[in-house]
């Protein structure tokens, strides 16, 4: 089973940065896509919507399952709407995880050959990892 990750942010730069970091740590061969506000726009270009999420999901069309990690509130609303609109069922799972740490944890699990449920759990577990003792 091939598994991909979709990083959803209000800022395209932020989403691309997370993908860049994850690929540097876990490898380029992972299926990772970033979606979010327009890279070249001013602050008014920030934001995310269901159409952007659907476009990102389409870029991961060749994978069997997709874990979706977002930044804040409305990114999850857009993701939920996209999943409903795309009638994607269990193929796409929103992972409740801190965006950076969760994406890294999921990617490392993927790189080790973990199952989709193990990847989701790895992302959720990122909430419990503290940076300082």
From residue 133, alpha-carbon distances to 31, 63, 122, 125, 130 in Å are 33, 38, 20, 16, 7
Total number of domains constituting the chain: 1
pLDDT the model gives residue 7? 98
* Residues 36-86 pLDDT 10s: 986 565 556 789 999 999 999 999 999 999 999 999 988 999 999 999 998
* Residues 15-27 pLDDT 10s: 999 999 999 999 8
* Residue 9 belongs to a domain: yes
* Residue 79 belongs to a domain: yes
* Residue 133 belongs to a domain: no
* Residue 120 belongs to a domain: yes
Across all residues in the chain, what is the average pLDDT? 92
Are 26 and 111 within 8 A, CB to CB? yes
Assign residue 124 the CATH number of its domain: 3.40.50.510
* Residue 105 belongs to a domain: yes
């Amino acid at each position: 089973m091939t598994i991909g990750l979709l990083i959803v942010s209000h800022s395209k730069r932020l989403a691309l940065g997370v993908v860049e970091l994850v690929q540097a740590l876990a490898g380029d061969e992972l299926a990772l896509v970033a979606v979010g506000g327009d890279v070249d726009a001013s602050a008014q270009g920030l934001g995310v919507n269901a159409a952007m999420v659907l476009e990102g999901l389409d870029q991961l069309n060749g994978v069997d399952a997709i874990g979706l990690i977002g930044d804040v509130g409305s990114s999850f609303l857009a993701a939920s709407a996209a999943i409903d609109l795309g009638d994607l069922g269990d193929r796409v799972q929103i992972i409740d995880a801190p965006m950076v740490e969760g994406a890294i944890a999921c990617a490392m699990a993927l790189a080790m050959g973990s199952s989709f449920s193990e990847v989701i759990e790895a992302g959720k577990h990122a909430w419990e990892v503290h940076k300082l003792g």
